[in-house]
Amino acid sequence: MELTTDSWGGARMVIPDSPTVLQIVTYDSKRYELSGIPTLILLWEMAKTMIVEWESEALPDLHADLGEIDDPRAARVLEWATTLVANHRSGLDLIPKN
């Protein structure tokens, strides 16, 4: 699934439509590995396990040290990405209606 935004300097990411069990478990496991850190940082670390392609002017390096980035648009891109990946992950658990 390719997702894009033109806001905040723009960003594009690709996450799997049907992630493997390993991708799902890795995503979910990050929650326990990183408990006690700020929620958005936790969600960002979890999202990075699902993102297979990434482009962003404001946050060009998916694995950059956030403490060294001073472009405020990067925070919005991070929020955008974490929200979409979390919603996608939650949707994987929905039982289809008959």
Domains of the chain, by residue range, sit at 2-91
38-54 per-position pLDDT tens digit: 889 999 999 999 999 99
Looking at residue 98, its pLDDT comes to: 64
More confident residue, 95 or 1: 1
- For the record, the structure tokens of 60 come out as 């060009």
In this structure, how many other beta carbons lie within 10 angstroms of the beta carbon of residue 37? Answer: 11
CA distance linking residue 44 with residue 40, whole number of Å:
6
- Give the torsion through C-alpha atoms of 71, 43, 10, 20, to 10 deg: 140
Looking at residue 52, its pLDDT comes to: 94
Q: What is the mean pLDDT of residues 5-14?
A: 81
Q: What is the mean pLDDT of residues 55-59?
A: 93
More confident residue, 13 or 32: 13
